[in-house]
Structure 1
């Protein structure tokens, strides 16, 4: 039944992408793929948030427990998407080794949780943490494509993305990893996978820090240049 659910999920994501390509034929393949990615990110965050905060169990106190039906459904839904997106990225050569590694670890982690029949609670928590910044990442790409990134909207998206990534994936993720490693219940394979995902998050964090530094420096130079031009343009008026 789990294999069937994953297969149905994969087929649904492929069909959605195909329909978008047919409907938005004037848009690029990547545009339509990112629409699918945006939908998955929003749907995944909503479902896993309900699992973690309402349905339970709490991942920080009950790692390694038996999977619930809702957890299995959420993981099957996301596994189908990751299989679709992994195939798309490989076919179109759009992503580098780090992003492909992230997709590969996500697929292996979900497969492991489904195969073992346990640790669904922390797997869904990891899905929530990794996907919560995804809509912002897609919004940034769409803003760039529409020529609206260089402005207040682009700055707001970038600032919120960095804040969420740092607080959730690094901050809360560190706490989650500690709980996973300290608990005797999770499988050693799940613990190893958690460490690998955490290390990959830090790889992303280093890239984000570099991007933030470069953008802040560029913004400061622009502000300084504008201030200099205002001072230069303002002096003749004062002299008159």
Structure 2
């Protein structure tokens, strides 16, 4: 009975997180009804990515990750961060299925992320591991959204104007933010994460579930790295040739 009650409580908390993200999305549509679904989705993603990055970095403490930290019991703050991200990934996966016709890699990323959060929530000691993983996966996300960001409105609630929707897609600030995002993403996902996955696979602390999660997220990251390199090559090679 205690186990059933605990599982049902976790399910209710996940549902509350999902409802929050759905409410926030609907709220943005009332504030800016003329914007596209993608615009509203990017505002939601910006909020999640920013909070997840800051909270993940604070909880992870990457400079002091050791055996003691990795085997500590999950704290309430770490569990709350897991709920924060579970609801977002569930909402964004549903949004992608309803509205988006882009790369299937993003769908795979969301599915893997949901499975990963569920696995981490079922463990008693994986809070630090989850926080570090989330921080690394989301740290470039605010830059991805800022790539669309220009300024903040003053006459309405603080929602961002997005570069491409506001006609600033060909400005220097857009290209500067885009290049910073590309460099960060490739450095973290292709280089740093390769090193970390090697360390994870050779760890005697992390169990098989965590190693499989690391490999799955790493595989998705490599595909995204390939897609970004292809995009950069196509876009900037054409610009150089045209000049």
Q: Which residue of 1 aligns with 2:231?
A: 211
Written as runs of structure 1 = structure 2, the 5 A alignment for 1:65-144 is: 65-141=72-148, 142-144=162-164
The yes-or-no answer on 1:29 pairing with 2:49 is no
Unmatched runs of 5 consecutive residues or more in structure 2: 1-8, 149-161
Distance between the aligned counterparts of 1:46 and 1:124, measured in 2?
10
Distance 2:189 2:99 in 1: 28
What do residues 91-148 of structure 1 show as CA deviations (whole Å, max 9, x unaligned)? 1234331100000000000100101233232222121112111122223343222221
SS in 1 for 2:35: coil
Q: In 2, are the aligned partners of 1:60 and 1:179 still within 8 Å (CA)?
A: no
Equivalence for 2:12: 4
- 1:198 maps to 2:226: no
| Aligned-pair CA distance for 1:74 | 0.7
Alpha carbons 2:37, 2:99 under 8 Å: kept: no
> After superposition, what is the alpha-carbon deviation per residue over 1:59-86, rounded to whole angstroms, capped at 9, x for unaligned?
7985465422221111110111111111
What CA distance in whole angstroms lies between the structure 2 residues aligned with 1:5 and 1:169? 31
Structure 1: runs of 5 or more not aligned: 224-240
Q: In structure 2, do the counterparts of structure 1 residues 139 and 218 end up closer, same or farther at CA, with 3 Å as the change threshold?
A: same
Structure 1 counterpart of 2:193? 173
Give the TM-score, by structure 2 length: 0.83
Instruction: Name the CA distance, whole Å, in 1 between partners of 2:121 and 2:110.
Output: 17
Residue from 201, 221, 224 that aligns with 2:241: 221
The structural deviation recorded for 1:57 is 6.4
Say how many residue pairs are matched: 222
| Distance across 2 between alignment mates of 1:69 and 1:179 | 27
Structure with the greater alpha carbon radius of gyration: 1
1:161 & 1:189 partners in 2: Cα distance? 30
Which residue number corresponds to residue 238 of structure 1?
none
- Per the TM alignment, residue 159 of structure 1 is displaced from its structure 2 partner at its CA by 0.9
Q: Does 1:47 align with 2:67?
A: no
Higher fraction of helix: 1
